[in-house]
Amino acid sequence: MQDILNYIDGVLVPPSTGSWINNIEPATGNPYCRIPDSGKEDAEHAVTAAKAAFPGWAATSINDRAAWLIKIADRIEERSEELAQAESKDNGKPLSLARQVDIPRGSANFRYFARAITQFHSETYDMGTQGFNYTLRRPLGVAGCISPWNLPLYLFTWKIAPALAAGNTVVAKPSELTPMTAYLLSEICREIGFPKGVLNIVHGSGTKVGSAIVAHPDVPVISFTGGTSTGKAISKVAAPMFKKLSLELGGKNPNLVFADCEYEAALETSLRSSFANQGQICLCSSRIYVQRPIYEQFVADFVVRTKAKVIGDPLEEETEIGAIVSQEQFEKDLNYIALGQEEGGTILTGGKIAEAPNERCAGGWFLEPTVITGLGPACRTNQEEIFGPVVTIYPFNSEEEGIAFANSTQYGLSSTIHTTNLKKAHRVAAELEAGIVWVNSWLVRDLRTPFGGIKASGVGREGGMEALRFFTEPKNIFISL
């Protein structure tokens, strides 16, 4: 089996602990490589390298930093097919999705922030004859970037790219469930001769090496995406140390389908927002609320099209639903399906372990996309994040009721509205408790826009200038005239 290595100070190294974690392919249930089970010492080693590299990188001109990021982006594009295959194998997602979304977005993140940093500017405040203020924005030092398994390279680079562009050095940890493309990124850095110590990638569990990065006194800024309970644990450590913290956490996103929607488009978009990446995108909408006049028709059509989804080997071209990322997540999904039934829900389609698509996948974690009706907004199935191919559909009457249902959870990441009434779209969008609202669309991403959630979905915003502000510290200077 191949061994993945840590990337520290420009060198690929085994873990100082000497211990390894088996990395399992979700489509087969078999281990196919090992990753370092890194510990505190590895985090220490990486932070030391990043700290030493910081003054040089921070002093590197914006144009030169941007040029390095473009080189990484170019190399990701050159190796895109290999990266897509690796992502699909590691995560269980359809290869077509990795090709269309994950890997192109990995290079786009570097390309976007390479350009954005050249446009980043700070403010001046004129006080007339008294003088004026100007604000310097400087990098903070070593940034800790911790990312989850659902969009591995996509979310990993979404943090690393702005941190580096702004002049910070980085210690990054991908999810232990999906380490492969992060490892390939470290190979890419070596291939292009990226300055040593500027980006360091350590592999291993959250509790061992992730928590060591978070608690390290020389890491003043942490950018994290993952579960809400992990976000709480990280806050407990980072807040008393007064670290700058960005938390992108879970969601339980509503999808409001009004009777006056463009029906066909609303139906297709809702299918995508329910089941893309096996429902394992923090932006997937898992609660579909449909206005009463079209409810029955919508449910019937939605079920027919859900049944038609092709569950298959992630590596096959025609596969629409791949494997669930891990046994733990697979069992979690099944438990929530059982809970939905206990709470009085009716399963209209799915709800069962799917037949293995071929012999290779006999031990894989495949689940039928599942549609449950008859569950009101207050039940646990509609309150807790499942993070799988499981959705509920429930009717609403008035606009007010739809908004109330949508806002009825602790989460507030994204929301989707389907309507052709322009005034209503604006009115409802303004009322929804969410960091992101899509009208008649889903997952349309413009990297310049602020990205993040409210309530238990997180703190802070990523994306565009928000990310560059997060990864810099403003200092105001007053000049007396």
> Would you please indicate which residues are annotated as catalytic (active-site) residues?
248, 282
Instruction: Give the SS3 label for residue 380.
Output: helix
Instruction: Count Cα neighbours of 459 within 13 Å in the Cβ-side half-sphere.
Output: 12
Q: Toward ligand TXE, which CB reaches closer, 92 or 148?
A: 148
Q: Give the span between the Cα atoms of 264 and 270, in whole angstroms.
A: 10
Residue 74 CB, nearest approach to ligand TXE (Å): 27
Based on the shown chain and the rule CB under 6 A, indicate whether residue 250 belongs to the binding site for ligand TXE: yes
Q: Give the span between the Cα atoms of 98 and 74, in whole angstroms.
A: 17
Q: Toward ligand TXE, which CB reaches closer, 38 or 88?
A: 38
Q: Toward ligand TXE, which CB reaches closer, 167 or 231?
A: 231
380-406 as b/e, with b when 16 or more CB fall inside 10 Å? Answer: ebbebbbbbbbbbbbbbeebeebbebb
CA-wise closest residue to 197 among 64, 20, 63, 6? 6
Based on the shown chain and the rule CB under 6 A, indicate whether residue 176 belongs to the binding site for ligand TXE: yes
**Residues found in the chain:** 481
Residue 464 CB, nearest approach to ligand TXE (Å): 19
The 268-297 site mask, x for binding ligand TXE (CB under 6 A), equals --------------x---------------
Strand-pair partners of 145: 172, 223
Q: How far is CA 165 from the centre of its chain?
A: 20
Dihedral sign, CA of 66, 71, 77, 79?
A: negative
Residue 383 CB, nearest approach to ligand TXE (Å): 13
The 361-400 site mask, x for binding ligand TXE (CB under 6 A), equals ------------------------x-x-------------
Instruction: Give the SS3 label for residue 124.
Output: strand
Based on the shown chain and the rule CB under 6 A, indicate whether residue 438 belongs to the binding site for ligand TXE: no
Residue 280 CB, nearest approach to ligand TXE (Å): 7
Based on the shown chain and the rule CB under 6 A, indicate whether residue 339 belongs to the binding site for ligand TXE: no
The site for ligand TXE, by CB under 6 A, has a size of 27
Nearest-Å Rg of the Cα atoms of the chain is 23
**Which listed residue (91, 157, 181, 211) binds ligand TXE by CB under 6 A?**
211
Based on the shown chain and the rule CB under 6 A, indicate whether residue 49 belongs to the binding site for ligand TXE: no
What is residue 194's DSSP assignment?
P
Footprint of ligand TXE on residues 126-165 (CB under 6 A)? 146-150
Based on the shown chain and the rule CB under 6 A, indicate whether residue 175 belongs to the binding site for ligand TXE: yes
Instruction: Count Cα neighbours of 150 within 13 Å in the Cβ-side half-sphere.
Output: 20
Structure tokens of 242? 């007064």
**Residues at the interface with ligand TXE (CB under 6 A):** 146-150, 173, 175-176, 205-207, 210-211, 214, 225-227, 230, 233-234, 248-250, 282, 329, 385, 387
